[in-house]
Structure 1
Amino acid sequence: MESTDVLVIGSGIAGLCAAIEAARTGATVAVASAGKTMSGSSFFPGTWGLGLIGPVNEDDEQDLIDTIQTVGGGVADPELVQTFVHGIPQAIEWLEQDLGVELKRPQNAESAQQKQFIPCFDHKTRMWRGLTRKPLEDALTARIESLGIRLLPRHELIDLVEDTKGRITGTVLYNLTEDRIVPFATKATIIAAGGTGGLFERSLTSADVLSSSQAIALAHGASLTNIEFMQMMPGFIEPKRNLVFNEKTWRYVHVDQPVDIADDKLDDLLEQRSGYGPFTSRLTSRAIDLVIDQAGAEGLALHYDFPREDVPEFVQTFATWLQDEHGIAPTDEMRVAMYAHAANGGIKIDKTAHTGVEGLYACGEATGGMHGADRIGGLSSANGIVFGRIAGASAALAAQKEPETALKADIALPHYGIATTDAERLTHGLRHTMSTYCMINRTETGLSEALHELEGLKTETTTLSTQKAQDSEVAALARLQSQIRLAQEMVKAMRKRTESLGSHYRADYTGHLSKAEHN
């Protein structure tokens, strides 16, 4: 049977940083990912790259910690936030000095102070760095090779294996290339398989973000936290789909269809909306997102009216990328709709990235607690690097303490499966339910209906499952059951939180939204 000291599930930034850090200690490390290596949201092609922010200096650390808590609506874990912020400067230094990743910087000190460089939801400029795909991929590839990390692309996690004491001693993977189930013994496992975007019809994540790993961890004793908080972003659906809409450009937008906002207020709301990317209920410019949401699948028609001169650097970069990479001119009519984006909640971890289940660690967007209800821009990639490195070091340390006999245990393989055509139909139904009731407009009526429909999908999945199935059918059943379980947990959390808070908007909530809307 296959075995390794540390197995990492997921090969985005968090997973690969975890693998490198674990391998540095001398542990044998393998990385399994449902898609190709270097995949998931970290390497999603619908953006120019990733922003990465941190404190300007030591004096700025406390302000950033306080701001994360404020923007997070008081639901972030204080200990995780401290660990996170204190870890960012070393993480950036590690990327540049140790891995040799070339990071983008603002053109000059003056440019760094432009309001366009204030991170989303923040109140001041921070240290900003840009992670572009090729330098990151090149540096990671070189280090993975030099450390002898084993790569298992197209290997999906379908279950964890525990011993009689509840310790995780292995995994069950599905090899998509060879269409076979693979048992894999491990001394420590790290889940870094991304967020919840895979449960929605429109999402700004790649297709390999399956949104099943959180429920697999849950089934083996882990907990979830802040799972009701998910970022939703405007994105293009015309002339091209699955492209992120750059929020800094809202102030240059001309809306080409009637909307339910007075003309004299529209410009002010668009100006405010230019300060952040994902939807929030905290600010009055939520009106813009509600208008997009009302436009539905057709999207909101608009075009750009950029100034002839003095175009800020950020905006220039985005306009050039749209034109050169996608052939979209600023004056073209575009249509924008809401997309599910990053999860702000997930598997609960402590400051060592431990899940509370022996042998199981987690990091990156699969986890929650370090952000809260809204997340400051540039902290998702920072989170992946900081807690990825912590998870790798913690898992390697745990693996060192385990005897070699830990890798000898037998792993029983699942036999029940579901026809892949049935699984596809039910997955489509799941995504439709989540997109209908669990995007921007959430109400008791809608969320109750969502739970009812998910229960129906769960029952139908059980009814259609058969024994002695093919491996692809076994994987399809495991995936679908985990996705339904995570969807149910999300809807329950959304129902339980009856007030609007950050990214969670209860349209049926009648209380005051927040002081921030008066700012």
Structure 2
Amino acid sequence: MQFKEYQTQILVVGAGLAGISAGIEAAEAGSEVTISTAAHFCSGSSFYPGTWGLGMIAPLDQGDKADLLQSIDRVGSGIADLILAEVLVDKIETRIAELEELGVKFKKPDNVKADNSLIPCFDNKHRKWFGYTFKSARPAFRQKIEELGIGVLEKTEIIKLIVKDNKFQAALALDQDNNLILIKAQAVVLASGGIGGLYQHSLNTSDLNGYGQVMALDAGCKLTNVEFIQFIPGYLKPNYKTIFNERTFAYAELSDQNGNDILDKYLPAEYDEEEILKKRAAHGPFSSRLETKYVDLALFKEYLKNDQEDFYNLSYKEEIKDSDSLMIKEYFDWLEKEKGITTADPISIVPFEHASNGGILIDQKAQTGVEGILAAGEITGGMHGADRIGGLATANSLVFGQIAGQTAAAYAAESSSAAEKITETELEAEIKTYLNKINFELEAPKKEIAELRQIIWENASILRSEKSLNEILTKIKNLNAMVKTKSSSDLNLTTQVADLRTKIKLKNYLSLAEALTKAMLLRKESRGSHFREDYPNETKEYKKNIVISRENSQLKTEWVALNKGGL
């Protein structure tokens, strides 16, 4: 069997803020570090090109920490891991200061309390606000990793984690030329982001495909809260996948193809449309907790029933030009300069998948329960609960990326070389077994992947029900029947590796889709970002977490008591 070999102490999977933070921290602790990324250095949600930058928040002062923690619990609908959240709140500002020392510049309003548009999404008060811009971050991070001698494997997709006796041993990867690479390391930090690629419409880069979650599950890690996924409005046109600024809802008019008011059809009579749109302007993501959910549901339902080619549903009132909101001014300046869109242009928006609140279960040291496997950033779950306050996802990546790097370096220093504990024969057997599972009859299944992504978006985004979710499980069952392994047990890498990427994607998407769908079915209530049309209310019975594991190749879902200490 032909594959290249690569050796390092710490392998970091993902080159966004969490991965870069982990890599820098581990290298500064003296470890040899390699960062791998399926795209390029500085990628993922941390550098999404569909927006100008990202906001981060921190407590106003020491006394505000307890209040922010209480808000995380409230917004998370009571199921956030408060031990993880406390670590986050305590370390946010220190991490931001450390980035500034690297040369990353932040926008900082002179008087944050004077601008209500800077109140974080779902929060009830002002916090310290920092506008993180990509332009200054990229060169600062590049310079730092070069100073530390951190290796970077760009366009290298990690496809399998190899574990023996509950200890990480190595990772299998595909490089940009479709060469297999066996990466031997003592520890791995998974920081490859969320699951956006599984959805037909997502505001993520293509490298956010959920592979890290699937590999972790297969390696013995657990997932939690995967049913909680944030959806925010995004542009269908013009400029597909541009992020819509929710603050502009206060000036928006929503209409169907015939010019009729959309909200007239879906908004209950007791609500005033203008007031609902003003309230919707206060937060980006959809939430079943709030009466503003009717705006997103109206947009979604209208899209599904209309001719999508001629679908424009939003225009702005003239008053938007007089807005003194920093967030709105910055947004439209960027939008016109980078995308050629002005306030006068009609647009088409729908709810796009944006971010995962659930993922790999970790403790406060970023440990997963499998020795040598750490995780940080959006790939992890539990910290935020059912909804997430705006500005904390980026902060989470900074704080727990650093912690994962520290833990990985300490583990590598204390343990003997993990790669020595598995023989070359065992490694080859692991690789061969994995590849032969991908060697199924269906060739180049791009059509099947597209069909799966479409049904996931239509049936498991902001509008879910037992019927719609079971339709997904039926689709998964039918696709699984099409991907039976060939009778021949040897994959010819020379001739078939071109199809290997697509087959891996389908296999991973089927596994990920099953995990998400089963969790969504199990939670027979609406809570935060999880909305069940057949169970529209929140229920005390379900104030607990769903944890997913794999046992004997089968997914296992179980309820666990509120997890206040990670593992």
Deviations 1:203-260 (Å, cap 9, x if unpaired)? 0001111212101101111000100000011111122210111011100112233221
Written as runs of structure 1 = structure 2, the 5 A alignment for 1:52-67 is 52-67=56-71
Q: Please say if 1:76 is aligned against 2:80.
A: yes
- The 1-side partners of 2:312 and 2:279 are apart by 18
Q: Please say if 1:283 is aligned against 2:290.
A: yes
- The 1-side partners of 2:471 and 2:255 are apart by 34
Written as runs of structure 1 = structure 2, the 5 A alignment for 1:206-245 is 206-245=205-244
Q: Please say if 1:402 is aligned against 2:409.
A: no
- The 2-side partners of 1:458 and 1:54 are apart by 46
- The 1-side partners of 2:463 and 2:487 are apart by 34
CA contact (8 A) 2:444 2:499 kept: no
- The 2-side partners of 1:247 and 1:420 are apart by 43
- The 1-side partners of 2:440 and 2:499 are apart by 5
Which deviates more from structure 2 when the two are superposed, residues 115-124 or residues 322-331? 322-331
Q: Unpaired runs of 5+ in structure 2? A: 541-567
Q: For residue 34 of structure 2, what is the aligned residue in structure 1?
A: 30
- The 1-side partners of 2:41 and 2:231 are apart by 26
CA contact (8 A) 2:194 2:208 kept: yes
- The 1-side partners of 2:387 and 2:410 are apart by 33
Q: For residue 316 of structure 2, what is the aligned residue in structure 1?
A: 304
What percentage of aligned pairs have identical amino acids?
37
DSSP 3-state at the match of 2:63: helix
- The 2-side partners of 1:395 and 1:498 are apart by 38
1:173 is displaced (CA, Å) by 0.6
Which deviates more from structure 2 when the two are superposed, residues 236-245 or residues 122-131? 236-245
1:513 is displaced (CA, Å) by 8.2
Which deviates more from structure 2 when the two are superposed, residues 485-494 or residues 317-326? 317-326
* 1:141 aligned partner, one-letter code: R
CA contact (8 A) 2:357 2:386 kept: yes
- The 2-side partners of 1:264 and 1:405 are apart by 61
Which deviates more from structure 2 when the two are superposed, residues 405-414 or residues 372-381? 405-414
Q: Please say if 1:105 is aligned against 2:128.
A: no
Written as runs of structure 1 = structure 2, the 5 A alignment for 1:264-279 is 265-279=272-286
CA contact (8 A) 1:158 1:479 kept: no
The change in CA–CA distance for 1:310 and 1:442 in structure 2 (over 3 A counts) is closer
1:407 is displaced (CA, Å) by 4.8
Q: Please say if 1:458 is aligned against 2:480.
A: yes
Equivalent position to 1:95, from 92, 99, 102: 99
Written as runs of structure 1 = structure 2, the 5 A alignment for 1:318-333 is 318-333=331-346
- The 2-side partners of 1:445 and 1:487 are apart by 16
TM-score if structure 1 supplies the norm length? 0.94
Q: For residue 396 of structure 2, what is the aligned residue in structure 1?
A: 383
Equivalent position to 1:350, from 363, 387, 393: 363
Written as runs of structure 1 = structure 2, the 5 A alignment for 1:102-251 is 102-106=105-109, 108-109=110-111, 111-163=112-164, 165-175=165-175, 177-251=176-250
* 1:226 aligned partner, one-letter code: N
- The 2-side partners of 1:218 and 1:363 are apart by 15
- The 2-side partners of 1:404 and 1:440 are apart by 46
CA contact (8 A) 1:451 1:488 kept: yes
Which deviates more from structure 2 when the two are superposed, residues 449-458 or residues 150-159? 449-458
CA contact (8 A) 2:323 2:329 kept: no
- The 2-side partners of 1:123 and 1:419 are apart by 54
CA contact (8 A) 1:349 1:367 kept: yes
DSSP 3-state at the match of 2:484: helix
- The 2-side partners of 1:465 and 1:453 are apart by 24
- The 1-side partners of 2:323 and 2:162 are apart by 59
Q: For residue 522 of structure 2, what is the aligned residue in structure 1?
A: 496
Q: For residue 517 of structure 1, what is the aligned residue in structure 2?
A: none
CA contact (8 A) 2:231 2:355 kept: yes
Query: What is the aligned-residue RMSD (CA, Å)?
Result: 1.9
DSSP 3-state at the match of 2:322: coil
Deviations 1:491-512 (Å, cap 9, x if unpaired)? 0110011100010000011546
- The 1-side partners of 2:244 and 2:301 are apart by 18
Written as runs of structure 1 = structure 2, the 5 A alignment for 1:406-421 is 406-407=419-420, 409=422, 410=424, 411-412=427-428, 413-414=431-432, 415-416=435-436, 417-418=439-440
Q: For residue 433 of structure 1, what is the aligned residue in structure 2?
A: 455
* 1:191 aligned partner, one-letter code: L
The change in CA–CA distance for 1:427 and 1:464 in structure 2 (over 3 A counts) is farther
Which deviates more from structure 2 when the two are superposed, residues 475-484 or residues 46-55? 475-484
Written as runs of structure 1 = structure 2, the 5 A alignment for 1:32-47 is 32-47=36-51
Deviations 1:90-144 (Å, cap 9, x if unpaired)? 11111112x22111111x12x4431101000000010100111111111100101
Equivalent position to 1:476, from 502, 505, 508: 502
Q: Unpaired runs of 5+ in structure 1? A: 515-519
- The 2-side partners of 1:462 and 1:44 are apart by 36
The change in CA–CA distance for 1:509 and 1:139 in structure 2 (over 3 A counts) is same
* 2:351 aligned partner, one-letter code: M
- The 2-side partners of 1:239 and 1:499 are apart by 36
- The 2-side partners of 1:476 and 1:241 are apart by 24
CA contact (8 A) 1:420 1:472 kept: no
